[in-house]
Amino acid sequence: MRTHETAAERDPALEGLAMGRIVLGAASLAAPSALARSLGVEPGPELTYLTRIFAGRAIALGAGYLTEPTAQRSRWQRLTLFVDVADTLAALGHLRRRDLPRTAVLALGGLTGSHALIGALRLPELRRGVRE
């Protein structure tokens, strides 16, 4: 790990997203039923289990990004972008099918969609204007 990293190498927006993943993941692990209710979804054992699985994923992605040396974070950025795009596409499918409470799908789809947009705009090759 390098000891002299400059602020120019760090991306505060991506670091903020990573910290947000950890906070939301930790809250989801601690209180999955409360999260479900806040989204207008009736909690149950299956939903609690799935929420905790995805909470662990969120924590791992956020921690992975933040603990990687800044010069090597692009791998984690691409992994989180893949997850955010997949989650957003899933939300769009549920919106189309109308099989979940609309407010829940809009809230979570909006969250993952905004994460995907920020992650895509921050891809190193887009910022440099060249392909790797």
Q: How confident is the model at residue 126 (pLDDT cuts 50, 70, 90)?
A: low
Statement: residue 1 has pLDDT above 60? no
**What pLDDT is recorded for position 4?**
46
**What pLDDT is recorded for position 9?**
75
**What pLDDT is recorded for position 128?**
66
Which tens digit of pLDDT belongs to each residue from 6-45? 544 789 999 999 999 999 999 999 999 999 999 999 999 9
Contact 11, 3 (CB under 8 A): no
**What pLDDT is recorded for position 131?**
46
Q: What's the whole-model pTM score?
A: 0.85
**What pLDDT is recorded for position 71?**
85
Statement: residue 97 has pLDDT above 80? yes
Which tens digit of pLDDT belongs to each residue from 57-75? 999 999 999 999 998 899 9
CB-based burial label for 62 (10 Å; 0-12, 13-18, 19+): buried
Mean pLDDT taken over the chain: 90
Contact 73, 118 (CB under 8 A): no
Task: Please compute Rg for the chain using Cα positions.
Answer: 16
Question: 88 by DSSP, 3-state: which?
Answer: helix
The gap between the terminal CA atoms of the chain, to the nearest Å, is 23
